[in-house]
Every structure is written in structure tokens, then in C-alpha cells.
Structure 1
Amino acid sequence: MAVAPVGRHMHVVIAGGAYGGLSTALNLLRLSSPGNTISELLDGEARIPHGKPQYVPDYANDKRSPANKRTHRGQMRLDAHTLLSTIKKPKITIIEARDGYYHQVGTPLAHTSSSYTSRPWINYSDFHELSDPNVTVVRGTVEKVDLGSKIVKYSDGSAGNHKTIRDLDYDYLVIATGLRRMWPVVLLAMEKKQYEKDSQQFIKKIENCRNGVIVVGGGAIGIETAAEIKHQHPTIPVTLVHSRKRLLSSEPLSSEFQQTVLDLLRQQGVSVVLGHRVIKSVETITNKHQNGISNIHLDDGTALSADMVINANKGAKPATEFLPEDVLDENGFVKVASTGQLSGAQPGCSSVFALGDVVSSSEGIKLASTAIRAGRGVAMNIASCMMANQPGVVSYHARQMDIAIPNDTLKIVVGGTAAAYAQGKFTFGVDVRKKIFGDDVALSRGLRALGVIMAE
């Protein structure tokens, strides 16, 4: 005879519906599905029993995940015999300004190739698992969090310009709001239709750049943007300008790998200027029938001209202004314990988790794959807390696992080729691009990591 779930429906609010936030939501749903034990999910044996897309976990191939009955720091895994479904399934609310999941890794291709533009944006309504009656996706932006009262204030963006501030009570809160960057490095639109329109207009603008394009910034985003423009529009002159003497200068990578990426970029036909900083940028429009001409001046007196200048060097800022200052570092990133919980001393911090780009960390390189792995860990830690705190559940102690942290790994698309770096070793070439990124800039790979197979 089945035992009725005990306790009440706890409420998990997730701020941000990209890699980390969506991973947390989906894994919480799977942990609370009837018949799925935590151990089965860790070992990759569980299957979602209804419809498309089905859950095909990839834990067994993830050496840094808890697949080997431990976390990446050797901590214990959760109780293998515990069913989260013995308590009432939690309510999950995702707060996200966009109307869909966007594969940010695909932006350079989406902004240069018309045939790819519509692919990386997937409306939340297309995710079958999110149609669960316990899940709500609200269009909005978090404005303030009261940690003591466990209340999220958010501006409801579903009514266009007529925004209303609403309150949400939560038992557990997940901060996965990411970074703010500038167009066209990231999109501005909040709806897929507008995003497609913006991207197509941007592509047409690139096609009219007879005097070339200048990309400022030699990090991964600048490199991928410059290379993709040249790869998709080979007749257009493309120049990348970087203030340091090596590309990827802010990342913990070997000089040999940095040189290899430089060589690949130049082989793709991109001109590269290193070691010189832009001190001034001026746009001049000669007449209404011509493109604007942008002139940039470097610190050595050199002047460069092009029809378009893309600044990929603007410092990205974490979207965390809604949190109290004492849980943030000096740059606005969230300070967390190894379990993903806020490390502040004020009441309520243990009920709030943060992951992805917003987390304060001096280690490694933050990638989409790291955020997805962290979402799995945060989901299991929340599940553990819920098991320990539900009335009627006895003989269970909350066991918190360490969350996957960034490591010295980078995979970068360089036009028609790619390069991959891990643990001091690297490889590159056309085959590397095909194996790692496929023909959709790892969109399918990311969905598989989320445990999602989209309907054909």
C-alpha cells in the first residue's frame, strides 16, 4: 500500500532561467519524481516516465560529478535509499525576463549566420518537463530579496511596459541571474520574435561593412566574434585589437595555447593587433546614404577605420544588485560556501544558493557546462535540506555536498576550427570543432547535459 507524501509543498524560487537555473529546476523535478531515488539519478539509471523530452542523464561520463559516489572534493553522496518523493513535491517558480532558454555560447554564430539565428532560443513552453503543474515560469526581473523574511520582490514583465512589483515567499532561493554584457556580445531582446529580428538586422549591417569590422577585446568572446564574422563573411576585413601582448590574457592558460589560438585566428584571415589599448573611438557619418565610419585611436598613435566597431572588452557585471551588500564581494559577485549556500552571517543565508557566473571565485574559467553541473549539485543540496526539514520525516540529517567549481578548462570556436584546453594539455583543428561543437555550437550537447531531448 502506497504511503501518502508528508509535510507541505515547499517553495523553491529560481532567479534566472539559463544554464544553471534551468539545470537546478529540472533536477529538482527529477529528484521528486515517483520511483527516482537520489542514487539512481546519480548513477544515471532514472528515466522520466512521461512524454518528450525524456531524461537521459550523463552523470556516468562526468568525472567531476558525484557519479563515483562522491563529489569532486571527495565528500559523501546523499543517502542512496532516500526518496525525495516521500515528501510532497516542491513548488518551483522560475523568474526570468526572457520568454525562453537561450544558448549564449551560440551568440557569435547567431549574430553572423541567418540560418542559425532561430536555433539557440528555445521557448520555455517547449520544455515538456516545465509543464508540470508544480512549476511556474514568470516573466520578470528580481528587484530585491529580504533574506530574513524570505521574500523576493520582482517586477512583473508579462504586461510589457506596465510593470507591477510583486512578492513571492520562498523556502529556498537560487540565484542564477548571470552577467550583464553589452549588445551585440549578448542579445537585448526578451522575446524570441524580437531577438530574431534584431539578429537578422545585425547580420545585414555586417554584410554592408565594406570597410571592415573591428573587434576590441582578446578574450574568448572577442576571439569567437571576430573569427565567426570572418568565417561567415570572408570578403569583409576583420581586425581584432587587444591591449595585452597575448590573447586570453586574463585566463589561467599556458602561453603555448594562447599562441595557438592567435595562430588559428590569423589563419582564419583575421588581422590581430596586440599590446595596444584603444584610447578613443569616434564615429563619423558622411551622409545619410552611407554607413557610419568608426575611427579608433590606439595608445601608440595608430588610427584604424571600419564600418563597425564591436566592443567585446567591456567588463561584464553580475546581476546581483537586488541582494544585500554584505553577501557580495567588492565587485558584486555572490560569496558562497562550498555547498553553494550564501556565506553571510545574517539569518536566511543557509536557504539561499548561488551558482554560475554570479559566484565570487578566483579559481578556473566559468563555463556553461560548469553551471549545469552546479545546478545538479544545488538541486541535490536543496532536496537534502527539504528532507531534513519536513514535518513527519524522521531519522534524516541534511548532508550537503560540495558544488562543482570552475577549473582550468576552455573550449573555444575559432571560425571553421576550434581549440580545447584542459589540465595543461590542448588540442585544436577542424576535427576538434566538429567533435566538441558539432554543427550547432554545442547547443545539442548543452541540452543533453541538461538531460533534455527536444522533440523533432
Structure 2
Amino acid sequence: MGSGPSLLHREDIHVVIAGGGYAGIQLAKSLKNKARFTLIDPKEMLYHNVGAVRSCTEPGFAKRILMPYAPAFGQNFKQGSVTAINAAEKTVLLSSGEMVKYSHLVLATGSTGTFPGKLPDEMITVAEVTQKSEAVLKLVQEAKKIVIIGGGAVGTEVAGEIATDYKDKEVTLIHPRDKLVNGESSDAFQERLKEVLQGLGVKLVLGERVTNLDELPTDRVETATVMTDKGTEISADLVIPCTGLKVNSTAYKDSLASSVEDNGSLKVNNLFEVQGTERIYAIGDCTNIPETKMAYRAGMHAELLAKNILAQETGGTVKEYKPDPFIMVVSVGRKAGMGQKGSSLLPEFVVRMVKSRDMGTGRYWKEMGQKPPR
């Protein structure tokens, strides 16, 4: 934030940030030394899920995607879960029973989904996540025929990682749509992405939905048959579900029910203000902003909101958020990647440099003000 306005002298200002994902940590970083804030998250660390797919294939990589909050934010971090909001009293209730008062509340609760793309709710420590990651890695190493269900960004990247690092595996990717990753991507993007995956030996089964997921081995290596609604049968000894994400609305779905969309996202305006509330904001994946949800966009939300809060309280001018053109960056193993911005494809070497090489781990350790483990 440079030498801009500061609210540290204002005892009446306390920004509470619910959620320590990409939006939450960027907001906390932007407010650090500028205003009193508390970052609240049930986990003890940022789970860098952008890089989590590589922990499925590379021994030791799990420790590079787990970035502790305490060294970054000290006493401004509180481990806990927000379960209710009292907008009239300007307080949030934690699962521990503790009440935290705020002047500004920012909901950055993100989304939920299947591992490795997202963490199960009960996994809150570095040790627990490391153990889970290593267990998945061991299954991948033992399996011979791996079927990945879901061809969004996570499923596509998992397929690319396994096919790159373990060329002896038979990898099949099943997706209910004809387009991988994102339906807004161009035909040229799709053609090149499929070409790269198939060049690695990945078998693509598109436009078909798995019908027997509940019966398949997802936590062990065991021979099974994956069945689709088109009658396709695929032999597997390990199934990795990478199905769609859901908005994480637990913190606010009851307290702010009138401001919640049917899918759980919060209705916000271009200043990130939650509809029908005062001094309550939402950023990142839990908003209803019509754009592709991405880590870098969550960071953009946070940076602008921090500037607006400071400006609002010091007589400055606030600025509205304007969504960027469509953008998508997909890693396909450590040596390949595809990207699109607007209608144009990004140079593949650029994608390899900014993402595929280290899955952004170096950047986010730096964002957290720490050095990555060796």
C-alpha cells in the first residue's frame, strides 16, 4: 500500500476478514500496517490449492503448498470458524463461542470441493494435510489404471501431472461436457489442450457422465469398472474425483439469507458491498460477480477493497471494480501449459514460466513473507 492513508490511529476501525484463501490473505497483506484487522480461518495455514495437483505426483511437494498464517500475520490471525453474523451489533460468532466485533466485515470464504483441489473441513493442520497428500501420492504410485472424474481445471491438471511424471500409468479423464476446463474457452484453446493431453497418453472421454461414482475406489487401489450414462465401461484400479466446486456459505447462509443467491454466493455491487447490508463486503469465490473464479482475480478484489476502505474512512475516492476479460491458465504437467486471455491464446512458454514450473509456490511464499521449505 506504499505511503498511502493509514487508519492505525483509529480505535473504532477493526476489519474482520472471514476466510484465509487467496482473497483473504491479500486483503490482510494490503491492510497490514494500515488498519487494525483480524484474519479468521479454521486452518492454521493457507492451502495453496493452485499447486496442490503436483503434490499428487511429486514426493515432498506437499510442504511447498502449506503456508502458515501466524508468521505472516502474527496476532492479527485468529484460528476459528465464523458460524453466524449479527449485522445489527456488528459482531461475528465463532464456533468456539467467542464473539468478535467489527467495524467492517469482509467475507472471503471461498469454495469447497474434493481433494486435492480443496481441503476437507476437518483438515486444519499442516500435519493432517501433509499426511493426506502423501497418502494420495502413494495411491497414484501404486495404481496402474487411473480414472479422473471431472475435466475442470483441477481434473485436467491432475491428469497432466500424472501422465507427465508416471508414463507407465494408464490415465483416463472423463468429463460430462465436450469442453475441458471452461466452456468459455475458444475452439483453438480446446484443440491445443486436448492435443497436449493426448500426446501425453491421456485418454479423453468427453460428453459422458459417470453413473456409479459412489461404488468406486477413491481411497484405495482396487480393480473396478467405471460406468457412464452412454454405456462406456472403463477398467480402473484408482479413481480420483475432481468434480465441481460449491460456494462455501456456512458463515453467512442463515445470517444473511436475503443476500444469498441460490448457489450460495453473495449478491454484491461493484464496490463489493453485500446487498442489503452496511459495512459488510464479499470478495473472491463467494461473490456473484459474473467472471471466472481464479486466485489472481480474488487478489484483485482484495487489493481494490483495501484501498476503498482506506479511502472511505479518510475522505478519499472509492473506485468500482470492473471485471477483466476472460482469462484461463492451465498447467499440463511441469513442462506444458495452455492459456487464453480474451479471445487470444497466451504463448505456451509464458504459461510454463508463470505456472507450470513451480505451480506458483514461489510467488505465494513471497506473498506470505516467508521462505519456501527446501
Task: Say whether the fold is shared (TM-score over 0.5).
Answer: yes
Cα distance in 1 between the residues matched to 2:237 and 2:39 = 41
Shift, 1:116, TM fit: 1.4
Q: Look up the equivalent residue of 1:153 and give its one-letter code.
A: L
The answer for the alignment partner of 1:153 in structure 2 is 93
1:422 aligned to 2:341?
yes
CA RMSD of aligned residues (A): 2.3
Deviations 1:234-285 (A, max 9, x none): 211110011222223x432111111211111111221111122212236478
The answer for the alignment partner of 2:295 in structure 1 is 368
User: Which residue, out of 121, 128, 133, partners 1:199?
Assistant: 133
Cα distance in 2 between the residues matched to 1:21 and 1:244 = 32
CA 1:422/1:29 → structure 2, altered by over 3 Å: closer, same or farther? same
* Uncovered stretches (5+) of structure 2, i.e. residues with no partner: 1-6
Q: Does the 8 Å contact 2:149/2:155 carry over to 1?
A: yes
Q: Look up the equivalent residue of 1:253 and give its one-letter code.
A: S
1:213 aligned to 2:140?
no
1:298 aligned to 2:228?
yes
1:260-409 matches, cutoff 5 A: 260-281=192-213, 283=215, 291-323=221-253, 324-344=256-276, 349-362=277-290, 364-387=291-314, 396=315, 399-403=317-321, 405=323, 407-409=325-327
Cα distance in 2 between the residues matched to 1:316 and 1:269 = 31
The answer for the alignment partner of 2:166 in structure 1 is 233
The answer for the alignment partner of 2:4 in structure 1 is none
1:439 aligned to 2:357?
yes
User: Which residue, out of 170, 176, 180, partners 2:102?
Assistant: 170
CA 1:428/1:320 → structure 2, altered by over 3 Å: closer, same or farther? farther
1:234 partner SS: coil
Q: Does the 8 Å contact 2:113/2:243 carry over to 1?
A: no
CA 1:148/1:407 → structure 2, altered by over 3 Å: closer, same or farther? farther
2:81 partner SS: strand
Q: Which structure has the larger Rg?
A: 1
Q: Does the 8 Å contact 2:112/2:119 carry over to 1?
A: no
The answer for the alignment partner of 1:12 in structure 2 is 15
Cα distance in 1 between the residues matched to 2:200 and 2:357 = 18
Cα distance in 2 between the residues matched to 1:284 and 1:247 = 23
Shift, 1:136, TM fit: 2.3
Deviations 1:318-375 (A, max 9, x none): 334524111111111011110111122xxxx23011100001022x312111111111
Deviations 1:7-39 (A, max 9, x none): 424211100112111111111124x2xxxxxxx
Cα distance in 1 between the residues matched to 2:176 and 2:273 = 37
Number of positions where the alignment pairs a residue of Structure 1 with one of Structure 2: 360
Q: Does the 8 Å contact 1:417/1:428 carry over to 2?
A: no
CA 1:380/1:297 → structure 2, altered by over 3 Å: closer, same or farther? same
Q: Does the 8 Å contact 2:49/2:117 carry over to 1?
A: no
1:251 aligned to 2:186?
no
Q: Look up the equivalent residue of 2:346 and give its one-letter code.
A: T
Cα distance in 2 between the residues matched to 1:334 and 1:93 = 21
Shift, 1:309, TM fit: 1.3
1:111-126 matches, cutoff 5 A: 111-126=56-71
Q: Look up the equivalent residue of 1:105 and give its one-letter code.
A: V
Shift, 1:5, TM fit: 7.7
Deviations 1:355-402 (A, max 9, x none): 00001022x312111111111111111112333xxxxxxxx3x53211
CA 1:438/1:452 → structure 2, altered by over 3 Å: closer, same or farther? farther
CA 1:311/1:147 → structure 2, altered by over 3 Å: closer, same or farther? same
Shift, 1:153, TM fit: 0.6
Q: Does the 8 Å contact 1:151/1:170 carry over to 2?
A: yes
Q: Look up the equivalent residue of 2:29 and give its one-letter code.
A: L
Deviations 1:395-426 (A, max 9, x none): x3x53211353530011101230011102111
Shift, 1:446, TM fit: 3.9
Q: Does the 8 Å contact 2:82/2:251 carry over to 1?
A: no
1:350 partner SS: coil
User: Which residue, out of 111, 115, 119, partners 1:187?
Assistant: 119
2:278 partner SS: helix
User: Which residue, out of 23, 26, 30, partners 1:27?
Assistant: 30
User: Which residue, out of 71, 82, 103, partners 1:142?
Assistant: 82
The answer for the alignment partner of 1:63 in structure 2 is none
Range that drifts further, 200-209 or 108-117: 108-117
Q: Does the 8 Å contact 1:318/1:332 carry over to 2?
A: yes
The answer for the alignment partner of 1:91 in structure 2 is 36
* Uncovered stretches (5+) of structure 1, i.e. residues with no partner: 33-89, 156-163, 388-395
**TM-score, scaled to structure 1:** 0.74
Range that drifts further, 399-408 or 12-21: 399-408
